[in-house]
Chains A and B, each alone.
Chain A
């Protein structure tokens, strides 16, 4: 039996500025396929699914849908053509009923004269809810009465409406428990039976392998392999996902993993944020300590808790001879700790403000005579940092929003260099920046280490952790799952085993 092709994405290319999100990717989905899509963060999975579902347009390449060229201009258009997607971060709208959520934007399907036929709408809603295992739920209830997981299931019900031929789950199962996952698996089975198709994106490798009929692996925006059912093994997929990059010389070249004996920062039995539980660490003078894991393993919360931005439920963070407890960001800064957020644009910088104002904000006390801020000191401070980090800008008065991603990142790091920080917490410092700036940041970290400063580097990129850190701690589901000393033999393969 020859497979009937439902969707062909041919040579899809997409750039966001310097980031090459998708590089000439070709994926074919046949009827009856459950196509798994896997890759590291930033490998282009979500970009691909958002192009297929009409959220974004490709720079080049063609999509063929049911044998015809297809250029969806919006999600609504793609939905009308038979492509539905459930996204990880989208959600339901609070304050309105379950039925209203399901049929949001499609109310006209139930029109009777100038009114909406609420009865017909509720009946259809009940049918859809039954499909996602929520038979007992009353569609007129307000969505707020549902648990987080059930709200996610309502989203699936919403996507099921209109009977799409291609169903895209973009990291949907991450938010679901086993019960919810079973619903998703059942829908996939039904789809297969009805000769329709599913595109399934998940970080859970075991799950992906067990439910997919084929798996496409993406790495750095390019397709590296398509595996059939018999070729899939967790080890093989992991290897393809991470790949062994050509040794980049911008990492550290030494492998001695040395650091001082003095503990400069200590976290004991820290429970904080949504998932981090009973985590302890010791950071030594002159050490680069890496924290790795999947993005929602709790490592970002850990960074915030170490800097006093979120209050731990249990445990504490202390610095130096362990008599100073960090309780707020202000306290952390006074104790010479600097923090660079993962979320540069939304958290680390005031985009509408100048480079100078951003750099000097944590150091205004240092730049004041009595209580008046000295313009000269301020200007010199900013200029010195711009020069030492070679931030590309026209002047210190340039607004941050007009800088490139890499230069923005330099500005957010410059804040902490100028005020002589001793401990740096970098959360994904190289996220979304180009290779040249990356290399500069690695050099800077090596310099800081040589000066006896200590760094905690939280990162989703394993190669960079292996390349830069004296020690690496891997988190899984909020708990420590493995700890590694610096060594030439350390491979990402070993780390991944502890992550997933």
Chain B
């Protein structure tokens, strides 16, 4: 009873003005964006204007393409509070399946097969969590290992290459269009349909979502399905760029996705603060950071270490801001 009383009385005063609310809302979304702009300016100046050269922009697009597409879908899963680290393996498996059908000559089937394979993996991942009540994080670790195991087994004996004709699909124009379409579709699904709203509501408070009539299991599964589809799309374009698949394909990708979302300001618990823009800004940010360091001629053996430090610093700054916003 004592605790209830404490909860009932909100810590914050009653009349916080609406403008303030809106401003705080916008501000928390702006911090990651400001970070990206700052980073771009620093690297642009330090590299003597090499960062924004057209050729380098295409490189940045190529490098951030997969991360961004997958992060866009992952936003739905993160919004309901699901932490998924199986992206790398599912991505690898999806490429493997697509490569197999392309290798057999059915090049037109590569894209649908990539999407179907990734969607199936994601649904298994989500389904086990939803129906067996297992923490999604744990399930995704298992999927990560199973997927990597299959890749290691299949790729150790055969080198699966695709017909060279398929490589022509890999142009920056095509990718840019795919990227824009994916952003548009996911943004609409996330902000303008029940899919996004319900997933945010589940992340915010599963009890209140249930009491508002949200079918929690169903909407969590839909989030996984969307995530799977985006993994499939990214996998296909990755395949036509690399031309073949190896046992290391996609290794470590999950960390890039999670880092991108965190850098973009996605709350780890999901809820109302989840935004599609986090996936976009976050994935460009990690690529600009890496790319900028390479341009500056930093030894690539220590780039990862520097990356870690800079990301930590950015996160510390943005979390501090959030704390200030709460206190003010």
Residues of A within 8 A of B (CB): 16-19, 21, 41-42, 46-47, 50, 55-56, 89, 307, 309, 328-330, 332-334, 339, 341, 343-354, 357-358, 361-362, 364-365, 368, 371-373, 392-395, 397-399, 401-405, 407-408, 415, 432
Contact = CB atoms under 8 A, between A and B. Distances in A.
Contacts of A352: 204, 271-273
B54 to A, nearest CB: 37
A427 to B, nearest CB: 11
Interface stretch (B5-13, B133-141, B146-154, B221-229): B5-13
A265 to B, nearest CB: 17
Contacts of A349: 205, 208
B208 A398 contact: no
A407 B292 CA distance: 50
A432 B8 contact: yes
B211 A16 contact: no
The 3 A-B pairs at the shortest CB distance, nearest first, are namely A394-B18, A395-B18, A17-B9
Given A46-B1, A329-B211, A397 B197 contact: no
B211 A372 contact: no
Contacts of A397: 18, 21-22, 25
Nearest to B191: A373
A47 B5 contact: yes
A403 B1 CA distance: 20
A164 to B, nearest CB: 20
Given A55-B2, A350-B204, A373 B8 contact: no
Nearest to A432: B8
Interface string B185-222: 00010001110011011001101111111110000000
6 contacts: A18-B9, A329-B210, A361-B208, A361-B212, A365-B194, A402-B21
Question: Which of A307, A309, A350, A403 counts the most chain B CB atoms within 10 A?
Answer: A350
B14 interface: yes
A38 B208 CA distance: 33
B177 interface: no
A322 B4 CA distance: 38
Q: How large is the interface on B (under 10, 10 to 19, 20 to 34, 35 or more residues)?
A: 35 or more
Contacts of B9: 16-19, 405
A401 B208 contact: no
A345 B8 contact: yes
A339 to B, nearest CB: 6
A361 B3 CA distance: 28
B21 A403 contact: no
B15 interface: yes
B302 interface: no
Given A16-B9, A333-B213, A373-B194, A398 B18 contact: yes
A294 to B, nearest CB: 13
A19 B211 contact: no
A358 B16 CA distance: 18
A392 B213 CA distance: 26
A364 B273 CA distance: 19
B143 to A, nearest CB: 28
B201 A353 contact: yes
A404 B272 CA distance: 20
A148 B20 CA distance: 49
Given A17-B9, A330-B213, A350-B271, A404 B14 contact: yes
B147 to A, nearest CB: 33
B8 A371 contact: no
Given A350-B209, A397-B22, A357 B272 contact: yes
Question: Which of A328, A330, A332 counts the most chain B CB atoms within 10 A?
Answer: A330
B239 to A, nearest CB: 32
B205 A350 contact: yes
Contacts of B188: 372
A404 B4 CA distance: 14
Contacts of A353: 200-201, 204, 271-272
A394 B15 CA distance: 7
A403 B14 contact: yes
B17 interface: yes
Contacts of A50: 2
A230 B209 CA distance: 53
Given A357-B200, A362-B212, A404-B10, 12 more contacts: A47-B1, A309-B211, A329-B212, A333-B213, A346-B207, A357-B201, A364-B198, A394-B15, A394-B20, A397-B21, A432-B5, A432-B8
A25 B13 CA distance: 28
Contacts of A348: 208, 211
Nearest to A349: B208
A395 B21 contact: yes
A398 B272 contact: no
A401 B20 CA distance: 14
A332 B207 CA distance: 15
A354 B272 contact: yes
B18 A347 contact: no
Given A41-B1, A46-B1, A345-B8, A350 B194 contact: no
Contacts of B17: 394
B325 to A, nearest CB: 11
Nearest to A409: B8
Nearest to B20: A394
A16 B6 contact: yes
A432 B9 CA distance: 9
Nearest to A347: B207
Contact of B192 (A346, A373, A405): A373
Nearest to B194: A364
Contacts of A307: 211
A16 B272 contact: no
Contacts of B22: 395, 397
Contacts of B21: 354, 394-395, 397-399, 402
A392 B14 contact: yes
A353 B270 CA distance: 11
A55 to B, nearest CB: 7
Question: Which of B17, B20, B272 counts the most chain A CB atoms within 10 A?
Answer: B272
Given A350-B208, A350-B272, A372-B192, A330 B5 contact: no
Contacts of B198: 361, 364
B7 A357 contact: no
Interface string B100-140: 00000000000000000000000000000000000000000
Contacts of B200: 353, 357
B193 A47 contact: no
Contacts of B12: 401-402
Given A347-B211, A364-B194, A371-B193, A21 B5 contact: yes
Question: Which of B10, B13, B15, B22 counts the most chain A CB atoms within 10 A?
Answer: B10
A42 B25 CA distance: 36
B212 A415 contact: yes
B14 A347 contact: no
A58 to B, nearest CB: 13
Contacts of A344: 8
A361 B209 contact: yes
Nearest to B14: A404
A403 B197 contact: no
A419 to B, nearest CB: 10
